[in-house]
Amino acid sequence: MHQFDKDLTLEKIDSFSYAGQVSDNWSVNGVPDGGYLTAMLANAMMQNSHKNATPIVTANFLRRCEPGAVEIEIEKMAASRQFDRFQAKLIQSGAEKIRAFGTFAKENLECGVESCEAQSIKMDGPEDCVLVPEIPGYTIFRNMDLRLEPGSAGWMSGHLSDRSEIKGWIKFRDDRFFDAPSILLVADAFPPAVLSRHGMVAWVPTIEYSVNIRNLPTSKWLKCVFRTRFITCGLLEEDGVIWDRNDTVVAISRQIAQYRARPN
Mean pLDDT of all residues belonging to the chain: 92
Q: Is residue 32 part of a domain?
A: yes
Q: Is residue 263 part of a domain?
A: no
Q: Is residue 60 part of a domain?
A: yes
Number of domains in the chain: 1
Give residue 213's domain range: 3-107+125-258
Q: Which residues on adjacent β-strands are paired with residue 9?
A: none
User: Residue 205 maps to which CATH number?
Assistant: 2.40.160.210
The total of other beta-carbon atoms located within 10 Å of residue 218's CB is 12
Whether the CB-CB separation of 157 and 200 falls below 8 Å is answered with no
Model pLDDT, residue 237? 97
What would the DSSP string read from start to end of 137-192?
TBTHHHHEEEEE-GGG-GGGGT---SS-EEEEEEEETT-PPP-HHHHHHHTTTSPP
Q: Is residue 264 part of a domain?
A: no
Model pLDDT, residue 263? 67
Model pLDDT, residue 70? 98
Q: Which residues contact 5 (CB under 8 A, 6 or more apart)?
A: 176
Q: Is residue 134 part of a domain?
A: yes
Q: Is residue 16 part of a domain?
A: yes
The beta-strand segments (E) located in the chain are: 10-14, 17-22, 27-28, 31-32, 53-61, 68-79, 83-92, 95-105, 130-131, 144-148, 165-172, 206-213, 222-227, 231-232, 235-244, 249-258
Nearest-angstrom CA–CA distance, 70 and 64: 13
Mean pLDDT by 10 residues, the chain (264 residues): 96 94 95 97 94 90 97 94 94 98 81 70 92 90 96 89 95 96 97 91 88 94 97 95 95 95 70
Nearest-angstrom CA–CA distance, 3 and 193: 27
Angstrom distances, CA of residue 256 to CA of 128, 166, 232: 31, 16, 11
Side-chain half-sphere exposure of 23, counting CA atoms within 13 A: 18
3-state secondary structure of 45: helix
Q: Is residue 161 part of a domain?
A: yes
Q: Is residue 201 part of a domain?
A: yes
